[in-house]
Amino acid sequence: MRGVLVEKWTEFDKLQLAECPNPMLQPGQMRIKTQAAGVSFATSLIVAGKYQRKPPLPFVPGTEVSGVVTEVADGVTRFQVGDRVASVIDWGGLAEETAAFEVNTFKIPDSLEFHKAICFTNSYGTSYAALVWPHLLRLEAGQTLLVHGAAGGVGVAAVEIGKILGANVIATAGSAEKLDIVRSHGADHVINYRDGPFRDQVLDLTNGRGADAIYDPVGGEVFEQSLRCIAPEGRIMPVGFAAGTIQQIPANILLVKNITVCGLNMGYYMGWSPDDVRDKYGDRLAAMMTQLFAWFDEGHLNPRVSATFALPDFQQAMALVLGRQAQGRVALVMNEEAARLGK
């Protein structure tokens, strides 16, 4: 099968398409004929050996896929050959075939296209956990949610889920085009952060109180400004470092305003930790995905994929992501989905 093969730690633009061995199935796994795979900033860190988790070399990168089940191993009870699924995998997504654990795999609605299904396991899953789970941002109806990087994958998801939960959503992005996108996904107020400090606008929009919950995939100065426009007893969550600078947290501001800073490593719940706790959280993740797919069926979620590329064009896909030009998710499409989309 064809895939992107990493034989040594390197920059993503040094990788090439290669013939890769078909994955071997372990008990509890299934073989998936890949139809779409997500491309993300984290993928570029993994292949360079700069991520907190390092797969054994050689490996195929990619952790989020959708496709069709073609084989099930011993121990698989919820899936059968022919099922349409989306899955979070340890690695192996940027190839025409992959292996996935049952506990990390979810049946997708018939109306959900494969290239849009990749939005759910990562972008929607992360945003749902961040906003809903009680030990994190625990957003409530009537509160104000500030979403940074709102035109990106997790940003769009957070805006939509925030509106479902009844929040007043303020979204920031870096261009008029991106602001139009987040407005179309339900944001109540939009701010172009390139026009000057956004903190003043957030305070104006909240009558000086600030945002109750802040969702920040950008980091750097954005995080620092956010601490200046957060409400007393507010919650703030760093979910990425797209700006290239890891957030520095001044504890004195946390103390004065009773602020909670939440961390979320979604991979922990998916088994990407030394003690591999994926089975412990399987029911929680299944309930989350059931709710997300129900919201999709009801028309409340509109997964945004800004661009699709055929597998041989994987470098173009990553360049779009690293250049911060993506408006929503970027997907690689393969097999029948590539043919259907004319790729």
* Same structural domain, 297 and 336: yes
Q: Which of 125, 132, 177, 129 is nearest to 150 (CA)?
A: 177
Half-sphere exposure at residue 120, Cβ-oriented, CA atoms within 13 angstroms: 32
Domain membership flag for residue 311:
yes
Q: Which tokens hold the place of 238?
A: 């760093």
Domain membership flag for residue 132:
no
Mean pLDDT by 10 residues, the chain (343 residues): 96 95 96 96 91 91 97 97 97 97 97 97 96 96 96 93 98 93 96 92 97 93 93 93 72 88 91 90 96 98 96 95 83 97 95
CATH code of the domain in which 198 resides: 3.40.50.720
CATH code of the domain in which 36 resides: 3.90.180.10
Q: For residue 162, what pLDDT is reported? A: 98
Domain membership flag for residue 269:
no
Domain membership flag for residue 268:
no
* Same structural domain, 30 and 148: no
Which three-class secondary structure state does DSSP give residue 70?
A: strand
Are 19 and 1 spatial neighbours (Cβ–Cβ below 8 Å)?
yes
The number of domains in the chain is: 2
Structural domain of 229 = 137-263
* Same structural domain, 109 and 147: no
* Same structural domain, 150 and 113: no
Q: Which of 308, 5, 247, 291 is nearest to 127 (CA)?
A: 291
* Same structural domain, 195 and 309: no
Amino acid identity for residue 313 in this structure: D
Query: How many whole angstroms separate alpha carbon 126 and alpha carbon 120?
Result: 9
Domain membership flag for residue 131:
no
* Same structural domain, 211 and 165: yes
DSSP 249: -
* Same structural domain, 18 and 89: yes
Domain boundary among 263, 292, 327: 263
What region, left, alpha or beta, does residue 227 occupy, with left being phi > 0 and alpha being psi -120 to 50 degrees?
Answer: alpha
Q: For residue 243, what pLDDT is reported? A: 59
* Same structural domain, 153 and 238: yes
Q: For residue 328, what pLDDT is reported? A: 81
> pTM of the entire structure?
0.93
* Same structural domain, 116 and 163: no
Query: How many whole angstroms separate alpha carbon 85 and alpha carbon 92?
Result: 16
User: Cis link prior to 58 (omega < 30° from 0)?
Assistant: yes
Residues 6+ apart with CB under 8 A from 96: 1, 2, 3, 33, 34, 311, 334, 335
